[in-house]
A = this chain, B = another copy of it.
Amino acid sequence: MDPRIREQAEVIVDHSTGVERGDNVVISAPTVAEDLVTAVHELVGDRGATPVYLGSSPRADRAYMRAVDVEELATPDHLQALYEASDVLIRVRATENATQHSDVPAAAQAQRSTINQPVQEAALSSRWCLTQYPTPAGAQLAELSTEAYENFVWDAIVQDWAAVSAHQAQMVELLEPADRVRIVSGETTDISMSVAGNPCLNDDAEHNLPGGEVFTTPVPESVEGEVLFDKPVYQQGREVLGARLVFEDGEVVDHAADKNESVLTSILETDPGARRLGELGIGMNRDIDRFSYNMLFDEKMGDTVHLAVGRAYPMAVGDGNEANESAQHVDMIVDMSEDSSIEVDGEVVQRNGTFVFEEGFQAV
């Protein structure tokens, strides 16, 4: 076994989820990640906790989703019961074929997201962590050799999370007391929103491994302007390219995409909350130095900003503020490396990817 798999397991069990004696742990992972599943089981045993291995087979799930009548889709409340009786959920992503769900109707997938909401809520009520295991198909998606992709994944994951946290805290200090945030990139993106009263969180690899972003929540009705997401959005096994959204009074009033616009449409039509923003995130992990068509990594990349339509994270919503509700939470990324800026209450805090607290920052 690659020694970095055991290092990843240690970060998951000790740093991200703090597994301890007596914990009921669920490890949810596809078959292809068995090495990591094994390393995690060993540590869970050592810590005196009790594991359940929940498999995931995208092949089997696709077969189910194509066979089932959409009207007969039901909430898997047996799965919900499992999560409700658990203390820790470790969810491992790994793909054998990133386009496995490409021939499952998007409407069925959107409907499933809706009916699975109680299950999702039960899952998120535990101490949870989402991480990645590198596979040849993941490498292919990232347009890398398998070895280069393994290096990419484990370089991003196995690192000094205390140092990352300290670096990111500087941005949290700027955003936490902020009201208005404006994001400008080229001629295509000029969008602003209030984040007043909403906490700004420092993602130092507790829930996401790798971590490496700071994020907060837009006040839903405050969002105005338009945005072009110039990085692809990978959803339901399909690549949405050149997604564009126009907001008025916080709602998407117009949308388009150069490729797979119907997927974007089906996301936005899931429920009213899917037409509003649920997250503003700023990627700060400079160890993630390339796009890999995987949101868990892409949204953390330095020189990017991401916005999510759909559900807000309750911990990123201040008391008395509205938390957008939706079955969806779809992140989309804006490249901020050139001809771009982030303004906080009228002050530029990042220009062309360089933060105000970093060397080389240009105020004007």
Contacts of A50 in B (CB 8 A): 73-76, 78
User: Do A46 and B67 have beta carbons less than 8 Å apart?
Assistant: yes
Interface positions, chain A 179-201, Cβ under 8 Å from B, are none
Contacts of A55 in B (CB 8 A): 29, 31, 37, 53-56
Q: Among the listed B22, B54, B77, which residue makes an inter-chain contact with A53, where contact means beta carbons less than 8 Å apart?
A: B54
Cβ of A85 under 8 Å from chain B: yes
User: Do B45 and A67 have beta carbons less than 8 Å apart?
Assistant: yes
User: Do A77 and B24 have beta carbons less than 8 Å apart?
Assistant: yes
Contacts of A38 in B (CB 8 A): 57, 59-60, 63
Copies of this chain:
2
The interface size of chain A toward B, counting residues with CB under 8 Å, comes to 52
Cβ of A52 under 8 Å from chain B: yes
Contacts of A45 in B (CB 8 A): 63-68
User: Do B59 and A46 have beta carbons less than 8 Å apart?
Assistant: no
Interface string of A8-30 (1 = CB under 8 A from B): 00000000000001101011010
Q: Among the listed B26, B65, B69, which residue makes an inter-chain contact with A78, where contact means beta carbons less than 8 Å apart?
A: B26
- The residue in chain B whose Cβ has the minimal distance to the Cβ of A46 is B67
Cβ of A79 under 8 Å from chain B: yes
Contacts of A53 in B (CB 8 A): 54-57, 60-61
User: Do A79 and B52 have beta carbons less than 8 Å apart?
Assistant: yes
User: Do A57 and B37 have beta carbons less than 8 Å apart?
Assistant: yes
Interface string of A324-348 (1 = CB under 8 A from B): 0000000000000000000000000
Cβ of A147 under 8 Å from chain B: no
Cβ of A296 under 8 Å from chain B: no
CB distance from A88 to the nearest CB of B (A): 10
Complex CA distance for A246 and B154, rounded to whole angstroms:
58
Add 16 more A-B contacts to A26-B78, A31-B34, A41-B57 (CB < 8 A).
A22-B74, A24-B78, A27-B60, A37-B57, A38-B60, A38-B63, A40-B60, A46-B68, A51-B60, A52-B76, A52-B78, A53-B60, A54-B55, A78-B83, A81-B84, A81-B85
Which residue, A29, A42, A56, A83, has most C-beta atoms of chain B within 10 A? Answer: A42
User: Do A60 and B37 have beta carbons less than 8 Å apart?
Assistant: yes
Cβ of A82 under 8 Å from chain B: yes
